[in-house]
Amino acid sequence: MPPRSTRPATPLDDDDYPAYTMGRAADMLGTTPAFLRSLGEHRLITPLRSEGGHRRYSRYQLRIAARARELVDAGTAVDAACRIIVLEDQLEEAQRINEQLRQRPAGHSDKTDA
């Protein structure tokens, strides 16, 4: 999942700031580093790398990983859990766009009449 575009004033407030090492992230999620690596292999999350090449995770990525863990703990395969999360994200975006379109004034159209 790509990081969101809005940026807070400081890294401490930034959900996309890569603040957590793999070990710390795994501890926080109650999982293993191998689980986090598998999420990267399935392209669900792509951690940034430190200058030394170590994976660093953001709070946003940890929330995604936590959702994946919920699904896996419920018996879903990792690859299927990753796909479910991507589809959930796409559905949420489509619903947001749909709501924006509903709130447009009546008669407003993006199409031009020929």
pLDDT bracket for residue 13 (50, 70, 90): confident
Q: Give the number of other CB atoms < 10 A from CB of residue 114.
A: 3
What is the mean pLDDT of the segment spanning 26-47? 96
Contacts of 1 (CB under 8 A, 6+ apart): 44, 45, 60, 61, 64, 85, 86, 89
What is the mean pLDDT of the segment spanning 74-102? 97
- The model's pTM: 0.76
Segment of 3-7, 31-35, 102-106 carrying the highest mean pLDDT: 31-35
